[in-house]
Amino acid sequence: MAMRNKSKTIKSNIFDSLKISKVNNQEHIEDFTIINLRDAGLSAPYTSYPFRSDDFIFIFIKEGNGKIYRGNYLQEVQPLSVHFINTCQQIELSMDSLDDIYMIIVGEYFFKKYIDKDFYRMFTFLIIESGISKESTPDFFSMMEDTYIKIYNEFKRANRNYHAIGHLVGFLLHKFTDEFWIENSNIHEEKCTLEMLISFKRQLSDNFIELINGKTEKVLKLSDFASSQNIHPKHFNTIIKNKTGKTVSEWITEKSIDEAKILLRESNLSIKEISNLFGYSEPTHFSHFFKKNTKMSPKEYREGSKMI
């Protein structure tokens, strides 16, 4: 990989251009979307602003050349290539043509609901913060193309079947793992840091599962996560921030909001009951926290989700 030229010109934000709305819409609720860049109203040559996504991104490039920037480094893009961008990784996409490029954007909620609750163990490459970029053989890319076109066609249906989409995405990622991950398993990541990230994400997820199931009343804090790793909290927070772009506190906040949204949409629990699950003795304190991070109250969010 080459060092990035910091004087590079940027043009537009790909998420703004593609009109992916992070508000109450079905794509956001199910935490999944697939885009054919050719039909997205973009013009080539195309360069995006640097951006971070809270979701996992997979880019399939059948035709075209360009570059994908990750932080200060760049990856040359070739035809018949596939690219995995991890959550919170700053990226920038620059393409000479957009003729045959598909992008899948999928979040943790979709993985847990439609593929497997323990998806990090199933697809261990999802932990690798540096991402993966690989060129493919024509035959293997043809198989991937057949699968992501089926996903795209199902997604475009008015009554799309997310369980069918989840099955196809799972199949695609299993093939991706078999083809690329063993070969890529010696990627230059410090083993201790990788294990720390795996442990942190699993511990965070497990804590909220236990909270929701009433098995604990304690929301873990930075000191708890650091203590489990036998590391000073400040040092642990620095590692998480450097590797993911978010502090431990930001991870906890986002996880709290995501899980609260699921309960507001999909359960009959009262707002007071949800507040108690997340360690708030007063619903007003929970409502203030929720509104600060979503720009709407829990009641407004619940009522809005019922209208979709």
CATH of the domain at 296: 1.10.10.60
CATH number at residue 122: 2.60.120.280
Looking at the structure, do residues 83 and 213 belong to the same domain, yes or no?
no
Looking at the structure, do residues 160 and 211 belong to the same domain, yes or no?
no
Looking at the structure, do residues 23 and 169 belong to the same domain, yes or no?
yes
Provide the token pair at 20: 């992916």
Average model confidence (pLDDT) across the chain: 81
Looking at the structure, do residues 55 and 28 belong to the same domain, yes or no?
yes
Give the whole-angstrom CA distance, residue 230 versus residue 224.
10
Give the whole-angstrom CA distance, residue 26 versus residue 305.
9
Domain that includes residue 23, residue range:
2-184
Looking at the structure, do residues 84 and 139 belong to the same domain, yes or no?
yes
Looking at the structure, do residues 175 and 290 belong to the same domain, yes or no?
no
Looking at the structure, do residues 255 and 120 belong to the same domain, yes or no?
no
DSSP 12: B
Q: Which of 136, 152, 184 is the last residue of a domain?
A: 184
Q: How many domains does the chain have?
A: 2
Helix (H) or strand (E) holding 236: helix 233-244
174-196 pLDDT, tens digit per residue, is 998 888 775 444 444 455 676 78
Looking at the structure, do residues 14 and 35 belong to the same domain, yes or no?
yes
99 within 8 A of 61, measured Cβ to Cβ: no
Neighbours of 206 (CB within 10 A): 13
Looking at the structure, do residues 299 and 198 belong to the same domain, yes or no?
yes
Question: Residue 29: phi, psi to the nearest 5?
Answer: -60, -45
Confidence band, pLDDT 50/70/90 cuts, at residue 71: low
User: Per-residue pLDDT for 55 more than 60?
Assistant: yes
226 within 8 A of 237, measured Cβ to Cβ: yes
Q: Which of 164, 184, 204 is the last residue of a domain?
A: 184
Helix (H) or strand (E) holding 15: helix 14-17
pLDDT at 149: 97
Looking at the structure, do residues 19 and 156 belong to the same domain, yes or no?
yes
The four Cα atoms 192, 58, 122, 154 give a dihedral, to 10 degrees, of 160
100-156 pLDDT, tens digit per residue, is 899 999 988 899 899 988 787 788 778 765 678 888 999 999 999 999 999 999 999
87 within 8 A of 56, measured Cβ to Cβ: yes
Segment 284-307 shows an average pLDDT of: 90
249-273 pLDDT, tens digit per residue, is 999 998 999 889 889 988 899 999 9
pLDDT at 70: 66
Segment 86-95 shows an average pLDDT of: 77
Q: Which of 184, 206, 236 is the last residue of a domain?
A: 184
